[in-house]
Amino acid sequence: MSKKQKQWLGIGIVLVAVILALVVWRVGSGNSGKPQDTEAVEGTEGTQQAEGYVEREPKELNKDLYMDSSKDVEERVAELLSQMTLDEKIAQMIQPEQSAISYSDITKYGVGSVLSGGGSAPSSGNTAEDWQEHINNMKQAAVDSRLGIPILYGVDAVHGHNNVYGATIFPHNIGLGSANAPELMERIGKAVAEEVRATGIQWTFAPTLANPQNELWGRTYEGFGEDVEIVADLGAAFVKGLQGSLDTDEYLDDSHVLATAKHYIGEGYTMNGTNQGNVSMEEEEFEKLLREELLVPYQEAIDAGARTVMVSFTSVNGLKTHEDKYLITDVLKGDLGFTGLVVSDYNGVQQVTGKTYKDKIANGVNAGIDLFMEPNSWLEFMTALRELVEEGSVSIERIDDAVSRILRVKFEAGLFEEEIGGETEQSLMEAFGGEEHRAIAREAVSKSLVLLKNDTVNDKTAMQALSDSKNILVAGRKADNIGVQCGGWTISWQGTSGDITEGTTILEGLQQAAGEGVTVDYSESGEVGASHDAVILVLGELPYAESSGDRSVSNLVLTGEDRQLLETVKETAASAGKEDIPVIAVLLSGRMISIADYIDDFDALVMAWLPGTEGEGVADVLLGEQDFTGTLQYTWTWSPSDIADKFAEGNEDKILFKKGTGLTKDGSSITENGTTQIGNGGTRTEDTQIVGLDLESANYVVEAENFTEASGNPQKGNANNIVYLDQWNKEGASAKWEIWVPKAGNYRLHFKIASESDVSGVTAGCGKDADFDMAELAIEAAKDLNDYQDCDMDVKLEQGSYVLQFDAGGASADFRLDSIVFEYLD
Ligand code: BGC
């Protein structure tokens, strides 16, 4: 045969194969979710068809063969796999958001997993009972599908079942790192598991195993410490608590949940601490770091029984981890021998290389991701992945491997035997947010406190003087603010200042703890009176999560409100003749912040981190019998400008508090090398004091929910992970944001607003002083309340601090405000 003849024959074979494939597809596509009446078609060697996959009819449905729990897990996996169509397999690989899928679609497609993103509560309400009902309806919908494969429901219970109103909220991991108590971690894990399981959920996306190196990163508080050893110890203990101990009957029983080791890998090492950023390192250097450090906590979590790993948004030398086959397949599944499932992060696959969504999916699947957290585009994902398999860009072996891993985890976790809304679930509901769990959280709070400074005041240490005080002033709005003490990932994704859930504020805790003859006064603004003999000043960061928490070196500072509070305390103490009473600062923060410039104003400094709902834990140490036991697990520099070189040799004088620092009430140090190092000095920050949100580090986006003041109580909501402010049509509704403009110029402000009708009577403005001009915004009706439109306003700004104000007191109808984007014009 000549070359030409061979070519013609080849083309002919391809054509026949394509026609047959089309016939097969038409027959199959009419009844998705049912086994397809397909015939095996052999492709032609050397053509695309030959590499592609043509579906064969699966084995006849026989549930008994895989529902039999006396069989070995691997046997059940293989049996079930052999009864699945390609569509059913792909449906196991997607994870829609609960708000983006209906019960009937779960049944129709046989969807394998669903998540609640941060702050995404059932539409019926946010009580534990609302969750339980909604989850159980979803579970039933999955069981009603042809194969009846149970759904695996995932949620971010990262410091308690934190989306749900009334849950026990534990300190964020940075505080638990300071407590450094593996046995306590295990108890916390168990309590969290019980609250999660009470609502029917079997999987939490926790713990985070990052060891953050740079506090500019908005997720620093999710890491236990800067060293992998502590992360490994506490991470493994938490996994054990969540899942139950391996090789015991309690392991993954119906009062435990699956844990997630996240985010794989290297996220604490991005340049400038940028969230979702890039780790830039010589290849060998990264390899060394990977093998000697980064993998350690993962290995330990896996050894403790962790069965799911979430991939990080991070890139390493420009390659997104979501498409890094070496890291996912070779290292994690190969070298570490991980046989569980790998889940992507929220829309994570959309960030990888590829011209089209389909190309990106191919890269993600081929890198080794098994389950895809594609909250909204799950249906498009399914169609694309099917095409990729048929075209040969993704092999059926890869699909079978992914699905086997997902099914394996489901079988191991006993999901096929789970009784929906069963007895255990009901009894766990009784303990939801109950005393027993709150007692554990309270203990965790008291153990997480770190005393960083404790000077002598009138012959006693400041903490001893506090113990002897009879009339204590508690100062600052943050002292009485559950939302601030909980931080991000609480009720909503970003967290919110204010009375967001049940719990005890620090002020309430102190008031309850005051002994006989001791009074505790409260002043929001910090007015010290002649009767006061000690001041507890509560300062701190406002809540944030993920990228919104990223800071530049110039704005990791005390807020303007806190500095004002400190001034008021000093001035009023002076005029009351009370300059010598001890001033104890309690700092609520998810990381070190620049404090060096104010440190002389405090006699004692207590780092309370983000303690959660049990404020009594703070009082137990400050006013009670307990002493401090917590130690710093991060190196704290004089200035944020020194963070980047804090580990470099010769830079010791830039360290304000060494890792390991922690004092007791009598002023002695808990660890040998952990003494404070106040008195040296790195870069001072006075010249770069910035008040408000630095637009540059916020990418010129002001998120609506991060207001510094609001009246009329606009509600915070969540649509597809966009947090917004809603219900503006209340009397007097307005909000203010403090911002820092780094560069003078003309700006166009885009107010991202969604409304179902035209709205008049809404004004906005931006100014330096209390009085500035407000102009009306032209708000036009959009498609719906998730369809954000730009309402523009042009302003000329100098460099400096501004107040951005929004006034909806006269709004003619309701609308949502998502964010305000600053576009620099010239
Ligand atoms: C976060 C994850 C989280 C996921 C689901 C992502 O934005 O990076 O930590 O598990 O959302 O809410």
Residue whose entry in the numeric block shows the structure tokens 């300062």: 539
DSSP codes joined into one string, 110-164 = T--EEEE-TT---TT-SSHHHHHHHHHHHHHHHHTSSS-PPPEEEE--SSSSTTS
Pocket perturbation via mutation, ligand 1, pick of 155, 156, 172, 372 by most ligand atoms within 8 A of CB: 156
Which DSSP helix (H) or strand (E) runs through 819? strand 816-824
pLDDT 10s digits, 566-607: 999 999 999 999 999 999 999 999 999 999 889 999 999 999
Cα distances (angstroms) measured from residue 186 to each of 68, 181, 444: 32, 9, 11
Atom of ligand 1 nearest to the CA of 117: 12
Give per-residue pLDDT as tens, 529-544: 999 999 999 999 999 9
- The per-residue pLDDT for 458 is 85
Q: Give me the residue label for tokens 């740079």.
A: 214
Supply the pLDDT for residue 697.
Answer: 65
Over residues 77-118, the pLDDT tens digits come to: 999 999 999 999 999 999 999 999 999 999 999 999 999 999
Q: Taking the CB of residue 444, how many other CB atoms lie within 10 A of it?
A: 25
Task: Please state, in angstroms and rounded to a whole number, the distance separating the CA atoms of residues 667 and 294.
Answer: 36
Euclidean distance between CA atoms 820 and 807, whole angstroms: 14
Query: Could you tell me what percent of the chain has a pLDDT over 70?
Result: 91
Say yes or no to pLDDT of 27 above 50.
no
Cα–Cα distance, 64 to 72 (Å, whole number): 14
Q: pLDDT grade, residue 678 (50/70/90)?
A: low
Atom of ligand 1 nearest to the CA of 493: 12
Q: Using CA of residue 692, residue 694, residue 700, residue 702, what is the dihedral sign? A: negative
* Residue 68 · residue 76 · CB < 8 Å: yes
Rg (CA), the chain: 28
pLDDT tens for 710-739 read 888 888 887 666 778 988 888 889 999 989
CA–centroid distance, 345 to ligand 1, in Å, is 6
The minimum-distance atom of ligand 1 relative to the CA of 263 is 9
Q: How confident is the model at residue 26, as a pLDDT?
A: 34
Q: Tell me what the mean pLDDT of segment 62-91 comes to.
A: 98
Question: What is the rounded CA–CA span in Å between residue 127 and residue 161?
Answer: 11
pLDDT score for 706: 83
Q: Is 418 a catalytic residue?
A: no
H/E element, 528: none
Max CA distance (Å), the chain: 108
- Closest-CA residue, ligand 1 atom 5, reads 117
Position 795 scores a pLDDT of 93
Question: Residue whose CA is closest, atom 6 of ligand 1?
Answer: 346
How far is Cα 583 from Cα 800, in angstroms, rounded to an integer?
A: 31
pLDDT of res. 39:
33
Give Cα 237 to chain centroid, integer Å: 20
User: What is the CA(328)–ligand 1 centre distance, in A?
Assistant: 18
Q: Is 308 helix (H, G, I), strand (E, B) or coil?
A: strand
Q: At what angle do helices 423-431 and 182-198 cross, to 10 degrees?
A: 120
- Identify whether 561 is a catalytic site residue: no
List the one residue out of 587, 518, 531, 579 whose CA is nearest residue 559.
Answer: 587
Gap from CA of 344 to ligand 1 centroid (Å): 9
Does position 192 have pLDDT exceeding 80, yes or no?
yes
Contact assessment for residue 17 and residue 49, using Cβ atoms and an 8 Å cutoff: yes
Mutate which of 258, 260, 344, 346 to test ligand 1's pocket (most atoms within 8 Å of Cβ)? 346
Cα of 161 vs centre of ligand 1, distance in Å, is 14
Beta strands in 466-582 (DSSP E): 471-475, 519-523, 534-540
Question: Over the stretch 681-704, which tens digit does the pLDDT of each residue have?
Answer: 444 444 445 677 878 767 788 989
Report the alpha-carbon distance of residue 302 to residue 202 in Å, rounded.
Answer: 18
Over residues 494-518, the mean pLDDT reads 96
Span from the CA of 502 to the centroid of ligand 1 (angstroms): 24
Q: What is the mean pLDDT of the chain?
A: 91
For ligand 1, pick from 345, 347, 492 the residue to mutate: most ligand atoms within 8 Å of CB.
345
User: Which tokens is 253 given?
Assistant: 């029983």
The residue type at 236 = A
Instruction: Out of 94-98, 258-262, 496-500, 726-730, pick the least confident.
Output: 726-730
* Ligand 1, atom 2: closest residue by C-alpha: 345
Q: Per-residue pLDDT averaged across 60-85, rounded?
A: 98
Q: What is the DSSP letter of 329?
A: I
Pocket of ligand 1 from Cβ distances under 6 Å: 117-118, 156, 205, 262, 345-346, 546
Question: Among 370, 443, 546, 603, which one carries the catalytic annotation?
Answer: 546
List, for residues 198-216, the tens digit of each pLDDT value: 999 999 999 999 999 999 9
160 Cα to the center of ligand 1, angstroms: 15
Cα separation values, 407 from 53, 113, 217, 256, Å = 22, 11, 36, 18
The more confidently predicted of residues 791 and 2 is 791
Given a cut of 60, is residue 16 above it in pLDDT?
A: no
Strand segments (E) across 450-582 = 450-454, 456-457, 460-461, 471-475, 519-523, 534-540
Kindly give the distance from the C-alpha atom of residue 650 to the centroid of ligand 1, in angstroms, as a whole number. 38
pLDDT at position 596 is 85
Q: For 641, phi and psi rounded to 5 degrees? A: -65, -20
User: What span, in angstroms and rounded, lies between the C-alpha atoms of 170 and 161?
Assistant: 9
Nearest ligand 1 atom to the CA of 116 is 12
Is 296 buried (19+), middle (13-18) or exposed (0-12) by CB count in 10 A? buried
The residue with greater pLDDT, 673 or 291, is 291
Identify the residue whose C-alpha is closest to ligand 1 atom 4.
346
The residue whose CA has the least distance to atom 7 of ligand 1 is: 346
Query: Which pLDDT score, from 0 to 100, does residue 224 have?
Result: 98
> Quick one: 744 exposed, middle or buried, by C-beta within 10 A (0-12, 13-18, 19+)?
exposed
Q: Are 766 and 805 in contact (CB under 8 A)?
A: yes
Check residue 69 and report its DSSP letter: T
Nearest CA, atom 8, ligand 1: 345
Pairing of strands 693-694, 734-741: parallel
Candidate list 254, 345, 614, 807, residue with the active-site label: 345
Ligand 1: residue of 114, 204, 205 to mutate (most ligand atoms within 8 A of CB) is 205
Residue nearest to atom 12 of ligand 1 (CA): 117
Per-residue confidence band for 676, with pLDDT thresholds at 50, 70 and 90:
low
Lowest mean per-residue pLDDT among 306-310, 561-565, 723-727 = 723-727
Buried b (16+ CB within 10 A) or exposed e, 85-116: bbbbbbbbbbbbbbbbbeeebbbbbbbbbbbb
Give the distance (Å) from ligand 1 centre to CA of residue 567: 39
User: Using CA positions, which residue lies closest to atom 11 of ligand 1?
Assistant: 346
> 764: which strand partners?
775, 806
Task: List Cβ neighbours of 26 (8 Å cut-off, separation of 6 or more).
Answer: none
Which is more confidently placed, 265 or 641? 265
Q: To 10 degrees, the CA torsion angle through 579, 582, 586, 592?
A: 80
C-alpha of residue 523 to centroid of ligand 1, in Å = 38
- What are the beta bridge partners of residue 790? 752
Q: In a 3-state reduction of DSSP, which class is residue 236?
A: helix
